[in-house]
Copies of this chain bind each other. A is one copy, B any other.
Amino acid sequence: MNGAQALLRSLVDGGVDVCFANPGTSEMHFVAALDDVPEMRAVLSLFEGTVTGAADGYGRMADRPAATLLHLGPGMANGLANLHNARRAHTPVVNVIGDHARYHKGFDAPLESDIDALTGWLHGWSRTSKASAEVGADAAAAIAAAMQPPGQLANLVLPADVSWADGGVVGEQVEPVAAQPVEDGRVAEIAKIVRSGEPVVLLLGHGTTREQGLVAASRIAAATGVKLFAETFPARIERGAGLPAIERLGYLAEQVQWQLSDAKHLVLVGAKSPVSFFAYPGKASELVPDGCQVHVLSVLGEDGTGALENLADLVAGDARPVLQEASRPGLPSGALTPQNWTEVIGALLPEGAIVSDEANTSGLMIPMTTVGAPRHDVLTLTGGAIGQGLPVAVGAAVAAPDRPVVCLQADGSAMYTASALWTMAREGLDVTTVLLNNHAYAILRMELSRVGAEAAGPKAQQLLDLSGPDLDFVSMSNGMGVPATRATTAEELADQFAKALAEPGPHLIEAMVPPLL
């Protein structure tokens, strides 16, 4: 058994049985070993941004890591932006980064680079495997590290000679660490605050935006009148009919300041104290209102959901959660608008859908129009690095093959990782992509004036404009094997969306939605 075979066997033994890959020469023994470990599914992507974004989407839905296979420093570099998003999402991922044979590194061959600098940028767990006898144990350690609450990136650098050398040993699985329970004393302290009669906001962060946490939070709110918000960009939020509907904090600082304006106490549950996404001249970075005290019920790595349940036991008595009633918008008609396309989605979103949401400005109304749709999960752009939507949809579809995946994808961001469409086609993934084509970096048009640079002239405007030539996503999608149609009216979108959902496999609908601004 060589190192690569031991590595793959150890990954599979540890429950990591999907590997998103874009290999190169230094990874050929890993690739060859795939046929020796039939339980491992290998999914090829044509660019590492898709590899890593897919691993993120997979981990968010599976609650366990996928592996990635990346080609030395430059291959890893291509995957960094979506790993940044995965880091912000606290997604468990095991990155296997192939490297030159150890004896070859000193020769500074063309692809040589300082991989440690890149793994360092990601702030995760990192190790370079030193021997084929150790790589199995390294894999087990990587899985345990990835699963360490709240979840993180584990980077395992695999030198080619470690991969090809005989003497591989399958690693013993490492018992994963559980989330730390929150002390009763802290829960009791927070209980006092929520019962104080003063205006309190509970901000739900990582891990608490799934049914169990939402229900506990809703009971607390029903009993005490506290306001509930979810963090702006949850890694995964469960919502829809039958679940408590929790509003997310807004993207714009002004929205958040308005949402929190009355609060005297802000209680963080696995969330960070809200800050502005960007700095703006003369505007605050911190968004907690003056005179509002910040308290912590749980930090990342603690069991925030359990803490919410304990808090509910203390303060909510028999209070019932407020559950969203089923309700859908009517099907709209006429030319597509930034509003009516979201009504189409709300009217037709299928039961159990997973929504990969990178609709950006076009998606402003989506939370409102889908709130009463059948129960679904939403995966959001946690780290702000665009190009996540399509890859995350790939990973979600691999993790949950029985659930329909809906990818709401802005045009500018789509161009970062468009080749994810090919992987959807190759794997026959049931992903319906609604591609919002507004011919602009619309968010930057808004930001250009928000930063006080509104006097911008034609050269500046040209840099925010995606027309000239217009991108034709129907052609591009067909070129990558995903059948595509174009919708210019709400009726066409509804018709095409319903058909795409009814057919298995990937589809893309280019929705010609004018910019919001």
Contacts and interface: CB of A to CB of B under 8 A. Distances in A.
Contacts of A473: 479
Contacts of A74: 80-81, 84, 383-385
A286 B382 CA distance: 45
B78 A81 contact: yes
A478 B472 contact: yes
A249 to B, nearest CB: 12
Interface string A243-285: 0000000000000000000000000000010011111010001
Given A35-B457, A84-B74, A455-B32, A121 B111 contact: no
A143 B124 CA distance: 35
Is the interface on chain A under 10, 10 to 19, 20 to 34, or 35 or more residues?
35 or more
A234 interface: no
Contacts of A120: 114, 117
Interface string A42-82: 10101101000000000000000000000001110110110
A333 interface: no
Nearest to A79: B77
Contact of A26 (B84, B278, B416): B278
Contacts of A443: 25
A479 B474 contact: yes
A286 B415 contact: no
B383 A111 contact: yes
Contacts of A451: 25, 28-29, 160, 164
A198 interface: no
Interface stretch (A101-109, A186-194, A310-318, A336-344): A101-109
A470 interface: yes
A504 interface: no
A233 interface: yes
A145 to B, nearest CB: 20
Interface stretch (A206-214, A361-369, A459-467): A459-467
Nearest to A78: B81
Contacts of A517: none
Contacts of A387: 47, 78
A460 B32 contact: yes
A109 B276 contact: yes
Interface string A358-388: 0000000000000000000000001111010
A111 B85 CA distance: 9
Contact of A109 (B73, B278, B422, B453): B278
Contacts of A100: 278-279
A425 B77 contact: no
Given A74-B84, A447-B28, A475-B475, A463 B276 contact: no
A109 to B, nearest CB: 5
A329 to B, nearest CB: 30
B460 A35 contact: yes
B78 A416 contact: yes
Interface string A133-155: 00000000000000000000000
Contact of A286 (B107, B281, B459): B107
A223 interface: no
A23 interface: yes
A334 interface: no
A475 B80 CA distance: 29
A197 interface: no
Given A49-B78, A120-B114, A463 B278 contact: no
Given A34-B460, A471-B480, A418 B416 contact: no
A23 B81 CA distance: 15
Contacts of A80: 74, 77-78, 80
A503 to B, nearest CB: 16
Given A444-B24, A463-B21, A480-B469, A279 B34 contact: no
A419 interface: yes
Interface in A1-60: 21, 23-26, 28-29, 31-32, 34-35, 42, 44, 46-47, 49
Contacts of A470: 481
Nearest to A41: B459
B468 A426 contact: yes
A110 interface: yes
Given A281-B164, A422-B469, A472-B479, A25 B110 contact: no
A222 interface: no
Contacts of A110: 88, 233, 277, 382-384
12 contacts: A24-B444, A25-B277, A28-B451, A31-B453, A32-B457, A35-B457, A74-B84, A75-B81, A77-B81, A161-B279, A474-B479, A475-B475
Q: State the 3 A-B residue pairs at the shortest beta-carbon distance, nearest first.
A: A469-B481, A35-B457, A475-B479
